Amino acid sequence: MDIEVRPVASPTEFRAALVVNRAAWRDAYADILPDERLDAMTVPDGVELRERYDRATADGRAFLVAVDREPGAVVGFADAVWNDERTAFCERDDAELRAIYVAPDTQGAGVGSALLAAAVERVPDACSRLALETFTENHAARDFYEARGFERIGASAFEVGGESYPTAVYVRPL
């Protein structure tokens, strides 16, 4: 697979990344989240899509897409934040990796690793660590991050549909 990782270029491309997000959630969280919650995850259009695109591309963020050069389809994305929108588990000099998702049919081809490397490149020098959280039960994600130098430093929780799910918090020096 020949991929290009770069900043998202348009709301249409951003929407394609959200379609990947929905498929990846269904694949990764089938045994973690209830089916009705996974089924309720929608991909926005119109004004909502534009507002989410504008937030994702604002200062202090990097929303990157992985595009398969043939046929030009978005196959993954990463979202990194180093502004005031970071989650409470982040320290002052941390950047937060909000997400890396790869289309289920392209996982294992190096797309996630390429997205992580590109996200790290875009984090400002003022940040000393990259922090993230993942569902505690998401063993594949935990293995992915641990294999790339992240160390588990704690626990937190993530709310989905009014329910709280335990998460593992990881950091890696930059």
Q: Which CATH number describes the domain made up of 3-128?
A: 3.40.630.30
Query: Is residue 6 helix, strand or coil?
Result: strand
Q: Kindly list the domain boundaries of the chain, sorted by start residue.
A: 3-128
Q: What would the pLDDT profile of 92-109 be if each residue is shown by its tens digit?
A: 999 999 999 999 999 999
Res 40: pLDDT: 83
45: number of Cβ within 10 Å: 10
Q: Which of 134, 97, 142, 94 is nearest to 117 (CA)?
A: 97
Q: Which residues, at least 6 apart from 60, have a Cβ–Cβ distance to it below 8 Å?
A: 81, 82, 83, 84, 85
Q: Which helix (H) or strand (E) holds 173?
A: strand 163-173
- Predicted structure pTM score: 0.94
Q: Which of 40, 48, 55 is nearest to 163 (CA)?
A: 40
Average pLDDT over residues 137-148: 96
